Amino acid sequence: NANGTGSSLYSGTVGIQTNLSGSSYQLYDTTRGGHRTYDANNSTSTSTGTLMTDADNAWGNGSTSSRQSAAVDAHYGAAVTWDFFKDAYGRSGIRNDGVAAYSRVHYGNSYENAFWDDSCFCMTYGDGGTTFSPLTSLDVAGHEMSHGVTSHTANLNYSGDAGGLNEATSDVFGTMVEFKAANASDPGDYYIGEKIAKDGTYLRRMDNPSADGASVNCWTSATRNLDPHYSSGVGNHLFYLLAEGAGTKTIGGRTHTGTTCNGSSLTGIGRTQAAAIWYRALTTYMTSTTTYPQARDAMVRSAKDLYGAASSQCTATANAWSGVSVSG
């Protein structure tokens, strides 16, 4: 194990764990289940690619002119995601078996997405093109790897209300990963993809999902018919309201609104407890077919388990769900 330094695209200069093999260093983190970062060499094949190596253990230059820079973000994102699940919930890797996934960067040409794949147990990032810069920001890395956690726990379907809960779970934990590593380059916020959107906007907002023109803030019986990236709005909005309450705030330099669907005022319990309630619901009570009303029950039960039936956290959980039009 060796301590490397990386000049990332989105997180500034960061420490990364590497491995000295012969005379060169590898992007191989032996301290977190053996996570390796590979160059996909602009191929879209299923091959693993080439393990990234470096002569002096100082990686990247903070710009896309170095192929190492996106790899620094990916390697760092995997490390922060590992540490988040371990430190917050004692979860040792995506499968909770102590074994790391691996990451690939520079997938395809001008590829405008990033994705988790259960079959290779691996994480893949495109370089982006007209819409996105390389899709390696912390919130996206945490989002994608959290799809792996969902697959190995509740295994929420990718359609109907469950699809929205699946996507919202990834936005919740992707955001928690971003907050865990918050620094001047990437202060935490409840926006998703704000570092990679070339037009300076974002992919999604948790405080006011409908601001993107397609996501929904409030649950109805029609929510289940939406693409999971839009039906996630209900779950994202719930999480924001539970964590931060209603009312306008500036967080990470960005405006967050947070308006309830029923006009109620809410006080947040903080993101750490809100995420703990969500994680317990995901890993204890949710199943592949959980609906939004069932998710309310799952989270109220989880809040009772964690904080007690008479706790303010339990009341806040119920009130926040009512605030996104999911009544008890």
Residues that bind ligand ASN (CB under 6 A): 113-115, 143-144, 147
Contact 117, 138 (CB under 8 A): no
Q: Which amino acid is at 184?
A: A
Q: Which entry of 35, 75, 144, 167 is annotated as an active-site residue?
A: 144
Q: Which does 139 bind (CB under 5 to 8 A by kind): Ca ion, Zn ion, ligand ASN, none?
A: Ca ion
Taking the complex as a whole, how short is the minimal distance between the CB of residue 179 and Ca ion, in angstroms? 9
Q: Which entry of 229, 237, 244, 256 is annotated as an active-site residue?
A: 229
Sole window of 23-31, 85-93, 94-102, 187-195 interacting with Ca ion (rule: CB under 5 A) = 187-195
Active site residue 237: no
The residue count for binding Ca ion (CB under 5 A) is: 4
Taking the complex as a whole, how short is the minimal distance between the CB of residue 287 and ligand ASN, in angstroms? 20
Residues within the interface to Zn ion (CB under 5 A) = 170
The closest residue (CB) to ligand ASN is 115
Q: Which does 113 bind (CB under 5 to 8 A by kind): Ca ion, ligand ASN, Zn ion, none?
A: ligand ASN
In this structure, the number of other CB atoms found within 10 A of the CB of residue 81 comes to: 32
C-alpha 84/C-alpha 94 separation (Å) is 11
Residue number, 169 or 302, with CB nearest to ligand ASN: 169
Residue number, 203 or 320, with CB nearest to ligand ASN: 203
Residue number, 91 or 147, with CB nearest to ligand ASN: 147
Query: In the chain, helix, strand, coil percent, each to 5?
Result: 40, 20, 45
Residue number, 59 or 102, with CB nearest to ligand ASN: 102
Residue 255 DSSP SS3: strand
Instruction: Return contacts of 13-21, CB within 8 angstroms, 24+ apart.
Output: 13/62, 14/72, 14/76, 16/59, 16/72, 16/75, 16/76, 16/79, 17/79, 18/54, 18/57, 18/59, 20/57, 21/53
C-alpha 218/C-alpha 224 separation (Å) is 12
Q: Which does 114 bind (CB under 5 to 8 A by kind): Ca ion, ligand ASN, Zn ion, none?
A: ligand ASN
* Cα angle value 251/87/195 (rounded, 5°): 35
Q: Which amino acid is at 297?
A: D
Taking the complex as a whole, how short is the minimal distance between the CB of residue 128 and ligand ASN, in angstroms? 12
Residue number, 69 or 170, with CB nearest to Zn ion: 170
Q: Which does 75 bind (CB under 5 to 8 A by kind): Zn ion, Ca ion, ligand ASN, none?
A: none
The closest residue (CB) to Ca ion is 139
Question: Which residues 121-140 are close enough to bind Ca ion by CB under 5 A?
Answer: 139
Which residue in 28, 77, 35, 78 sits closest to 57, CA to CA?
28
Taking the complex as a whole, how short is the minimal distance between the CB of residue 166 and ligand ASN, in angstroms? 9
Which residues does 310 contact at the CB level (< 8 Å), separation at least 6?
none
- If binding is defined by CB under 5 A, does position 191 make contact with Ca ion? yes
Residue number, 39 or 144, with CB nearest to ligand ASN: 144
Q: Which does 171 bind (CB under 5 to 8 A by kind): Ca ion, ligand ASN, Zn ion, none?
A: none
Dihedral angle sign, alpha carbons of residues 105, 110, 112, 117: negative
Taking the complex as a whole, how short is the minimal distance between the CB of residue 192 and Ca ion, in angstroms? 6
Which tokens is 271 given? 């993101």
Taking the complex as a whole, how short is the minimal distance between the CB of residue 135 and Zn ion, in angstroms? 12
Residue 229 DSSP SS3: helix
Given phi > 0 = left and psi -120 to 50 = alpha, else beta, which region is 74?
Answer: alpha
Q: Which amino acid is at 18?
A: T
Active site residue 144: yes
Catalytically active residues are 144, 229
List interacting residues with Ca ion (CB under 5 A): 139, 178, 189, 191
